[in-house]
Every structure is written in structure tokens, then in C-alpha cells.
């Protein structure tokens, strides 16, 4: 995908070449990617909401995660969401299979 394909605040479910499903989001000019499934319920996080302050909210039970590090900010989730490395290069947004920090 290209940066023009996503608006700020948008979330999109994407399947990587490895078959892993991730939720890719854009917050301002920054992109992030996390595991598509909420660690609490398995609900697709791409069906959630990106809130102010870099917070991703699951659309099912309202669990909240920090997009910066995947940390749980509000339950019912107890486990952080896995992050993936994102690079914008040569006009494309790339998501790697390795987690970011």
C-alpha cells in the first residue's frame, strides 16, 4: 500500500505474505501495525477505533492498547497486543513479520 491509500485515523486489516493477519493504522503521518486479533477476544482490531493520544480501542469489549508499544491501557484485555515493524520507503508502506519496539 502507499501512504496515499490511508487517511489519518484509518485502520485496515492486512494479510502478510507469511499469512499472518495484522491491523495497520495511520495516526497523523505515522503508521503502525499490530496483531489483527484482540488478545482478549480475538475480535479484529481493524474493526476498532483509533483514539486520540495513540490509543487503539477494540470494538467488541472496549479494551485499549497503546500503539507505541502494544501495552494494555484498559481491560478487559490482560495481555499486550503484538506489534510489527513498519517502514515507509520508496513511496510504499511495508509491514515486517518481526515485532517492533
Question: String of b and e for 21-47 (b: at least 16 CB within 10 Å)?
Answer: ebbbbbbeeebbbbbbbbbbeebbbbe
Q: Which domain holds residue 49?
A: 3-95
pLDDT at residue 97, rounded to an integer = 75
Structural domain includes residue 101 = no
Domain assignment of residue 40, yes or no: yes
pLDDT at 101: 42
Q: How many folded domains does the chain comprise?
A: 1
Q: State pLDDT tens for residues 10-39.
A: 999 999 999 999 999 999 999 999 999 999
Residues 6+ apart with CB under 8 A from 15: 21, 22
How many Cα atoms sit within 13 Å of 24 on the Cβ side?
Answer: 23
What span, in angstroms and rounded, lies between the C-alpha atoms of 61 and 89? 35
pLDDT of res. 27: 95
- Domain containing 12 — which CATH number? 2.102.10.10
- pLDDT tens, per residue, the chain with 101 residues: 899 999 999 999 999 999 999 999 999 999 999 999 999 999 999 999 999 999 999 999 999 999 999 999 999 999 999 999 999 999 999 998 765 44
| Residue 41 in domain | yes
How high is the pLDDT of residue 75?
92
Give the three-state DSSP class for 47.
helix
Amino acid at each position: 500500500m502507499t501512504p496515499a491509500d490511508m487517511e489519518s485515523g484509518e485502520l485496515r486489516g492486512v494479510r502478510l505474505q507469511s499469512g499472518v493477519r495484522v491491523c495497520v493504522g495511520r495516526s497523523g503521518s505515522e503508521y503502525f501495525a499490530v496483531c489483527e486479533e484482540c488478545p482478549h477476544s480475538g475480535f479484529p482490531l481493524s474493526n476498532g477505533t483509533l483514539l486520540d493520544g495513540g490509543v487503539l480501542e477494540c470494538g467488541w469489549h472496549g479494551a485499549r492498547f497503546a500503539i507505541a508499544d502494544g501495552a494494555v491501557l484498559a481491560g478487559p484485555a490482560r495481555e499486550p497486543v503484538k506489534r510489527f515493524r513498519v517502514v515507509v520507503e520508496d513511496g510504499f508502506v511495508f509491514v515486517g513479520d518481526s515485532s517492533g519496539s
